[in-house]
Amino acid sequence: MTKMSRRATLLGLTVLGATGLATAWSRAVPAQAMQRPRNDLYACEGCEAIDERDPATLSASAILAGPEEPGERMHLSGQVFALDGITPVQGVVIYAHHTNIDGLYANGTAESEWSRRNGRLRGWVKTDAEGRYAFDTIKPAPYPDFTGPAHVHLYVKEAGRQTYYVDDVVFESEFKVDASYRATQEFRGGSGIVRLGKDSDGVLTAVRDIRLEPHPV
């Protein structure tokens, strides 16, 4: 599945650029706080999948892929921040899904349309008091037709707000994470480009912090 859009016009960058010319007053205001809501914030294919679980049942971590899943183990985690980029936000639901090592959204169930379309490797979390979340999974592979980089789709929903997607998690210095990719980043929720590490158990580590977007209403 692809995103609904990848606009080259980046409100965030526009605002950041303007900040360079700012007055002393505006320098005191975080750039993100000055960002206007995106007109297409809620344009989203598959956002309804986030509602397939009751937020009351969710914890801050979930297993997307069990030990039986082929692939290199990966721990994807992060922290969700408010518009100021500083304040952690508790209770944000995050839905994640990604391809398997063959680049396919495979082995979904009949539970729902999005279970079938997103495949088996999907799950939900809800941020803790420090805004933290984590998924234990495997590292995805690019689509079989190699039309894009390996990626993890992420969708967020704040309490009482409409769901939106944020920039996919992709992996620095990997296939198709190049200048043309960077040129089309939307920076929804901040950049999705992460640098993989490895923990003492040999598990890949990826940190994708999310800065929530301003809402149009």
Beta carbon nearer to Fe ion, 79 or 112: 112
Distance CA 113, CA 96 (A): 15
Which residue, 1 or 60, is less far from Fe ion as judged by CB?
Answer: 1
CB of 192 to Fe ion, least distance (A): 12
To Fe ion, the closest distance from the beta carbon of 202 in angstroms equals: 26
Considering beta carbons, is residue 81 or 105 the nearer one to Fe ion? 105
Nearer to Fe ion, 48 or 91 (CB): 48
Tokens 């992060």 belong to 78
Give one DSSP letter per residue of 138-176, joined into a string.
Answer: E-----TT--S---EEEEEE-TTS--EEEEEEEETTSTT
- In angstroms, give the least distance from the CB of 1 to Fe ion: 5
Residue 152 Cβ vs Fe ion, minimum distance, rounded to whole Å: 9
What is the rounded distance in angstroms from the CA atom of residue 74 to the CA atom of residue 137?
A: 5
Q: How far is the CB of 133 from Fe ion (least distance, A)?
A: 20
CA–chain centroid gap for 140, Å, is 14
Give the number of other CB atoms < 10 A from CB of residue 144: 10
Q: Which residues bind Fe ion (CB under 5 A)?
A: 1
Nearer to Fe ion, 1 or 16 (CB): 1
- Structure-token pair, residue 201: 């158990």
